[in-house]
Amino acid sequence: MSVFSHREYDHHEKLIFHRDAASGLQAIVAIHNTNLGFALGGCRMWHYASEHDAVADVLRLSRSMTYKAAIAGLNLGGGKSVIIGDSRRDKTPDRMRAMGRLINSLQGEYVSAEDVGINERDIALMAGETPFVTGYKAVNRGGNGGDPSPLTAYGVFRGIEEAVRFRLNLDSLAGVRVAIQGLGKVGYELARLLSGAGAVVLASDIFSENLSPAIKELGVIPVAAGEIHRQAADVFSPCAMGAVLNAESIPEISAPIVAGSANNQLARSADGRRLADADILYVPDYVINVGGLIDVYYQYVGTDRREVRQHIDRVAGDTLPKIFHLAQERRVPTSEVADQLARERFMISSTSDAEVTWPLPAL
């Protein structure tokens, strides 16, 4: 496998392959860019179809974390790790501890947190081997640590509010139809917030145990997993895996807004243009889902976590409208505007030059 010519390789600084024979752990860590600070990004456990798919995923995810940190105004770099395996079948305490030792070997260059397939208990097991993890209740520096999923969902909720205000000229979500793809921890919390705001929530999930409580407790309307993006809705909200926005799916989307928590929603950069050409307002994934990163960063450095929501509100209330308006004025995709704003911040050589004011400066 050639890494430097890999289509997802983007001047990444490091790509580490690791196997622990005793536990059976097979993991990959990617560090994309550390111009602004140490790399922070979650650990994902997934049953990849191939090792090639795992490499592609970790490269894409780590790059996204660099852009996410930069657009959020955090002095962080981007990194990510993946464990190859089925989290429902292959996860063991020994493998989590082995992952902790791998993270520790990087001596703080990469700090991890939870992602798909990894929960607080797993991070706590890793923490027994390394101080370079965050996002669990016993985290020492933040004092009041915990699962970042609720704040990720809050950021997506606020982003949907801003997108609906801009695209539909509505100041309320009452009666707005939102189709959520994926009811994991973030998707379920998002459904709860939307239902509480009076939105009509349609949802799908490949796991019935995720969908059933949402139907019973929140009154969501169930939809078959392969049909959710085709629903007559005001907002399509991808909250599962990435690459769901592609040449095949985009023509089938009837919603005028796409806004969800999934990472790397665009299968290709050209899909941002496809959405714009289809007159669909795409809320860039790494901007709208930044709440979890802000939360685990605040936990790790020990900043008062009461400021987390205020920081998320600044991204939603200042940065997103700026992206929407610039894209409209310049007739370019929102994804391109967000990328340019992020690159202007992280493509520098020192954190002293990286301070950001709100709202972000004009392009």
Q: What positions carry a catalytic annotation? A: 80
Cβ atoms 199, 191 nearer than 8 A: no
What distance in Å separates the CA atoms of residue 18 and residue 16, rounded to the nearest whole number? 6
> Which residues on adjacent β-strands are paired with residue 46?
84
Residues 295-298: contacts with CB within 8 Å, 24+ apart?
295/135, 295/148, 295/151, 295/152, 296/40, 296/113, 296/134, 296/135, 296/148, 297/40, 297/69, 297/74, 297/76, 297/134, 298/142
| Helices of type H across the chain | 51-71, 93-105, 120-127, 149-168, 185-196, 208-213, 270-277, 285-288, 291-301, 308-314, 320-330, 334-346
Residue in the block written with tokens 């081997």: 129
Residue in the block written with tokens 């922070």: 40
Evaluated on CA atoms 140, 141, 145, 149, the torsion sign reads negative
What distance in Å separates the CA atoms of residue 244 and residue 242, rounded to the nearest whole number? 6
For 145, other C-beta atoms within 10 Å of its C-beta total 25
Give the pair of three-digit tokens for residue 175. Answer: 């009666």
CA neighbor of 68 nearest in space, from 296, 245, 244: 296
What distance in Å separates the CA atoms of residue 301 and residue 140, rounded to the nearest whole number? 9
What distance in Å separates the CA atoms of residue 233 and residue 138, rounded to the nearest whole number? 41
